[in-house]
Structure 1
């Protein structure tokens, strides 16, 4: 039986390459590397979208609110054994005016949308792993990314992590902070480079095996 894992995230799940604004190929994206590392017993489903937020409707672009989309998404991909949620970077945009606590609350609210959906095996809910993205680097202010993100995005993505950790633990979700193991690439300081994708895949392979081994 294949274990089905949905990876629900933003441009760093989609595979945005800040060098030339293209998409990293299979074999570079962490999602495809995770598939390679885990092997044929697992089925990795890529659901990354550039600009996706956990809870905000973007006044400039359509369809980026993850909360609005996650329910039809999980219904279309069921049955699922695990959902990996890695969001929060875009919620730190200045135009959304969220505090670090607010960002964490939005991610937890989105994760709660999966509860009681019976989209797992045998009418159960899937396991949920919340991944706090590596914080935006402070030098993003010197890049074009600043014009999109606005002020204090680096601080918000760093300061929301302890809030998210506490809330995830209280809600019974699995949690890992990517920033303890890797950092954003130096092109724009908010997107993973190829090495970052490799490290993310290695980090999540270990966590996925741990979670699904316990589940049995």
Structure 2
């Protein structure tokens, strides 16, 4: 049985555009588990507001780098680690762009490959470039001011990081877009699309 850890933000957690959380069966990690089969375990460890490595002054515990090692030990040994972070890095008060978000992902990759005292093997890494942000609406319009243009560069920088670090790579923007309801989060169709894309990417590295 393989353990697949999906380490992300609200797009992984299952945020419904404009508020709420999807039932488990509509979240993409759960759909992925169904595609892989019940002999495998897909763990949804998404957290709304999580960044790659920035400390959010308004939300506690959102620094992805600070909690990654504990997550790998908690759920380990992890066979496949799926990283999809960076959307929240583009909030205007962090003052960074897609390049810095990609470098944050690279730090996560490096952290995941550091040996721990359990002697767990390093997981296979999947790097997902987040989908492009559309026009954010409502309360997110201010937080993501300027993020639409920045998000257009996710693909380029994330692919460079993935190739350089020998990770599997998926460009989410190539297969889906966020809901027009809020411009950031995924609708049910996008959850389905993402699950099937990740399945196609990892199915051959999963041991039955």
**How would you bin the TM-score normalised by the shorter chain?**
over 0.9
* Separation of aligned partners in 2, 1:119 and 1:174: 26
TM-score, normalised via structure 1 length: 0.91
Report the equivalent of 1:42: 40
- SS of 1:16's equivalent in the other structure is coil
Distance in structure 2 (CA, Å) of the matches to 1:211 and 1:156: 33
Post-superposition Cα deviations, 1:11-42, rounded to whole Å, max 9, x if no partner, equal 010000114x1110021110111111111121
Give the Å deviation of 1:118: 5.4
Q: Which residue of 1 aligns with 2:125?
A: 128
Question: Which among 154, 157, 167 is matched to residue 160 of structure 1?
Answer: 154
Higher alpha-carbon deviation: 155-164 or 2-11:
155-164
Q: 1:60: Cα distance to partner?
A: 1.1
Counterpart CA distance in 2 for 1:41 and 1:99 is 39
In structure 2, the partner of 1:30 is: 28
* Matching residue of 1:76: 74
- 8 Å Cα contact 1:182-1:199 kept in structure 2: yes
Tell me what 1:115 maps to: 113
Corresponding residue of 1:185: 179
Pairwise CA RMSD:
1.8
Structure holding more helix per residue: 1
- What is the TM-score of this pair, normalised by structure 2? 0.94
* 1:146 CA drift (Å): 1.0
Count how many residue pairs are aligned between Structure 1 and Structure 2. Answer: 208
Superposition deviation, residue 62 in structure 1 = 0.6
For residue 140 of structure 2, the aligned residue among 138, 141, 145 is 145
Unaligned runs of 5+ in 2: none
Determine if the alignment matches structure 1 residue 96 to structure 2 residue 90. Answer: no
Measured at CA, do residues 41 and 9 of structure 1 come closer, stay the same or move farther in structure 2, by a change above 3 Å? same
The unaligned stretches of length 5 or more in structure 1 are none
Structure 1 residue 119: deviation in Å?
8.9
Closer/same/farther in 2, CA of residues 119 and 10 from structure 1, 3 Å limit? farther
Once the two structures are superposed, residues 126-167 of structure 1 have per-residue CA deviations (whole angstroms, 9 ceiling, x without a partner) of: 111011111101x22x43311222x21111122132011012
Contact 2:133 2:147 in 1 (8 A): yes
